[in-house]
Structures are given as C-alpha cells and as structure tokens.
Amino acid sequence: MAKQWFRERECIHKDEGAAGESYSGVFYVQALQRLPIDSAMQMARKVESFFWADAPHIIVWLCHECANDLGIADMPRAVSQGVRKQA
Ligand SMILES: [Zn+2]
C-alpha cells in the first residue's frame, strides 16, 4: 500500500504553462467548502473532478491564480508535504 496510490489532478491552466503548486486533496476540498457555493462551483469547473471521499489520496495542482481564487495561495503549509501527515 502507499505512495503510488496518490493521484494528481490539475487545473485547466497547467496546459497553458502557468506556474503553480501542488496541494493536498483534503486541503483543496476544505478550501472549496469554505467558498460561497457560486465561487466553489466555478472553481470546481477549472479542476478535474474527483470523489471527495478520495481526497486523502489526491494531490491537486493549482496555478497561482486558482490558488488565489481558493484563498490558499498564502498558505505554504497547504503544499503537498503535508499530505503524508494527514493520511
Ligand atoms: Zn488555474
């Protein structure tokens, strides 16, 4: 069991060459839940979807703009090193 289980999702801007960071899926979901529903739905359209139950096994790559929209751009602890502690 373990590390290979992680899957990566990314926002639509990665293909355009945007710079960004990887965040834990759990953190992404929590941030999404804090947003007003309209913003959350807009945001969710920019990132490949996954079952929230799988969030502990997901890493979400977000460009700076999307991270900003989510309100997690200024939270370095969100970056994926935190994933293993939460699992
Ligand atoms: Zn983006």
Does residue 73 surpass a pLDDT of 90? no
Confidence bin at 80 (pLDDT 50/70/90) = low
3-state secondary structure 7-70: EEEEECCHHHCCCEEEEEHHHHHHHHHHCCHHHHHHHHHHECCCCHHHHHHEEEEEEHHHHHHH
* pLDDT for residue 6: 79
Domain range list for the chain: 7-86
Confidence bin at 83 (pLDDT 50/70/90) = very low
**What values do phi and psi take at 61, rounded to 5?**
-90, 125
Could you tell me the distance, in angstroms and rounded to a whole number, from the CA of residue 12 to the centre of ligand 1?
Answer: 6
Could you tell me the distance, in angstroms and rounded to a whole number, from the CA of residue 3 to the centre of ligand 1?
Answer: 25
User: For the segment 32-64, what is each residue's pLDDT rounded down to a tens digit?
Assistant: 999 999 999 999 999 998 998 999 999 999 999
* pLDDT for residue 86: 44
